[in-house]
Structure 1
Amino acid sequence: MGKSNFSAHIQIRISISSVAMYLLKTWRSVAFGVYGYQNFTKKGFLEHSKNFRSEEMQARIEGKNCVVTGANSGIGYATAEGLAARGATVYIVCRSKERGEAARSKIQSATGNKNVHLEICDVSRIGDVKTLASRFSVKDEPVHILVNNAGVLEQKRLTTPEGYEMNFAVNVLGTYTMTELMLPLLEKAAPDARVITVASGGMYTSPLTEDLQFNSKEFNGVEQYARNKRVQVALTEKWAETNKDKGIGFYSMHPGWAETPGVSKSLPDFSKTLSGNLRTSEEGADTVIWLALQPKEKLVSGGFYFDRAEAPKHLPFTATKGSHSAIDSIIVKLHSLANL
């Protein structure tokens, strides 16, 4: 084959591959958009809530210690308030002392529960997460429920003081480190301990990738967020598998499209377009609280939940399912980055 023919052959193959990838990514976005508009909006919540059982939310959980990250506003705040209203001792983990104290005071006032405590921690900083975990270790009390809610969607590449891409640092590395360091205290609460990670339906648009800090091409915050949330769902599967004999349940969930301060800041156009059709923070937190209250035998450890029911982790024909096999090597990287 001549040099020019060989070059043309390579270019054609590259072109076909590029077109195929473009079409696949387009299909993922379309499938997510259609599925999301049908299910993730306020209208979807109201439709699904017709099958909810009110008695499933009436359990009291006095004496249970619950840790909720990112709890000063939005879904984290609504989760913390819902757990406190049912008698739990709640530790709200917030980056800002001022906003955290305001949230704690508001939750105590709304629920009449004085066992609401503030822990200051920036989840984007692994040093902060380790310090927080040490404080809990000193208490040597069981942690019955850990809610990994803290999350961020930064549209532009930002780097933390520790050198990590910001979205990854909060959504993946911080969440991983928090969970791993809390495992001994969760074991103390066995067999009723559980970890609930607030993921996102955005993960439907992305397979699992080992490019954790989005170094392969021009940065895209929305795509990075979707990748991060896919990692959370795959991590939940792996945690469930590796800790199946320790009395800890692991669940990821999708809150739907909720109108929260985080969404308004990160996705202003999306927020405006769906104004009036987004869920409230309380509706977004509903399944988190439901997962915290159900008897564990009713739940599937490693499962992904949405509107009080197990939900698919992959949409049809999106070629994301096989990607979860990469989670083992990703965990090795996270373990190293967190220096655990």
Structure 2
Amino acid sequence: MGADLSYPQVEISPERTYIVTGGNTGIGFNVAKEIAKMGGHVIIACRNMSKAEAAIKQMQEEYEKELKEKQERVQASNRAEPKLLNVEMMEIDLASFDKTMKFIEEFKERDCPLHVLVCNAGLATASKVMTDDGYEIMLQSNYLSHLLITLHFLPILQKSGDDARIVNVASDAYHFGKFDPRNLNCERSYGNLATYGNSKLFQIMSTLWLSRHFKDTAVSITSCHPGLVKTQLMQGTAMGRFFGKFNPRTPLEGAATIIKAATDPEFKGVTGVYIKDCKITSTSSYVRSAEIEKQLIDYSLETLSKYLPQNLKDYIDYEDQGSA
């Protein structure tokens, strides 16, 4: 692949909590498992609880198998007993603002710290699908609901120590997206690659906006491109068939950049960057357009205004935008 997809095996305190949305499958499954193997407390936030339960069982089984194989290779005399991975699950449906808020409130009720939020869950649809809230499903699930979670959890991250992080799993597919106020909700046209690209473009642009406007720089906010990965995400879509021709990575290879962004001590305090192949890289000039960014944030905050924290301006430094 021509890329060094490596990340350090760091020792993570069991007191350090990570939320991984969509952690029951694909990239998110591997992110959650690898962080738990390092010692972290991981919460996978998923829509389907039976699949989440099965995923946690699979993580444990894979970990024990990997440990056994490693010990057999080195013929270790003092073989460590496998630990119980500290992974639990919470329910979330990103295609519903009410259900996303239910997840947010349930986590807040725990009154526990949050050190890293990995906004990983995403979907790609072959045809246009509208949510019950009236939004195109990729726009809402991939972008708007993750932004809503982020805005609510920023104060929790802020209180959780000097190394809190938000990692947005984006994609180079953002190059296919654009901010068109006349077609944000696919009112005029729909193309699955363009619409998916929009959701990832908006995710990256909001990352940059947040990195500048959040008042506490101790919380780093980054976005990552996992590469072309063979997952369930694009099965049955034209873009999945198209990208499938380009020797896609395994889910673990795709997870490497996200794991590095979430755990590597070298990324402590590094904010407002785009990470690809485990390295910081540049984005297009379109992503950095101040005019387009303002239009996007105006739209986003107005769309989410009903669900935003009442004290948002206490920790986000921004001018009045829309009705938010």
| Alignment TM-score, normalising by the size of structure 1 | 0.78
In structure 1, the residue matched to 2:52 is: 100
Q: 1:132 offset after TM fit, Å?
A: 1.0
Residues 1:328 and 2:297 aligned together: yes
Aligned residue for 1:300, secondary structure, equals coil
Higher share in helix: 1
Question: How many angstroms does 1:194 deviate by?
Answer: 0.4
Question: What do the CA deviations read for 1:163-219 (whole angstroms, capped 9, x no partner)?
Answer: 221111101111111111212221121311100000010102233344574345221
Residue 234 of structure 2 aligns to a residue in which SS?
Answer: helix
CA distance in 2, matches of 1:253, 1:273: 22
Partner of 1:273: 245
* Pairing 1:88-167 to 2, within 5 Å after superposition: 88-111=40-63, 112-167=83-138
For residues 41-94 of structure 1, the C-alpha deviation after alignment (integer angstroms, 9 at most, x for no partner) is xx2xxx221xx6x6x512111221000001111111111111111111110111
How far residue 296 of structure 1 moved from its aligned partner, in angstroms, is 5.7
Q: Which runs of 4+ in 1 moved over 6 A?
A: none
Structure 2 unpaired stretches of 5+: 64-82, 310-324
Letter in 1 for 2:153: M
> Displacement of 1:237 after TM fit?
0.7
Shift of 1:224: 0.9
TM-score (norm 2): 0.82
- Which position in structure 1 is the counterpart of 2:233? 262
Partner Cα distance (1:107, 1:279) in 2: 20
Distance 2:287 2:277 in 1: 22
Aligned counterpart, 1:313 = 283
Q: Which runs of 5+ in 1 are unaligned?
A: 1-42
Change (3 A) 1:211 1:233: farther
- The alpha carbon displacement at 1:268 in A equals 4.1
State the shift of 1:331 in Å.
3.5
How many residues end up aligned between the 2 structures?
A: 286
Secondary structure at the aligned position of 2:11 is classed as coil
- The sequence identity of aligned pairs, in percent, is 27
Alpha carbons 2:158, 2:216 under 8 Å: kept: no
Matched, 1:290 2:271: no
- Aligned-CA RMSD value: 2.1
CA distance in 1, matches of 2:267, 2:125: 38
Matching of residues 1-340 of structure 1 within 5 Å: 43=1, 47-49=2-4, 56-62=7-13, 63-111=15-63, 112-211=83-182, 213-245=184-216, 247-266=218-237, 267-270=239-242, 272-274=244-246, 277-295=247-265, 300-314=270-284, 321-322=288-289, 323-336=292-305, 338=307, 340=309
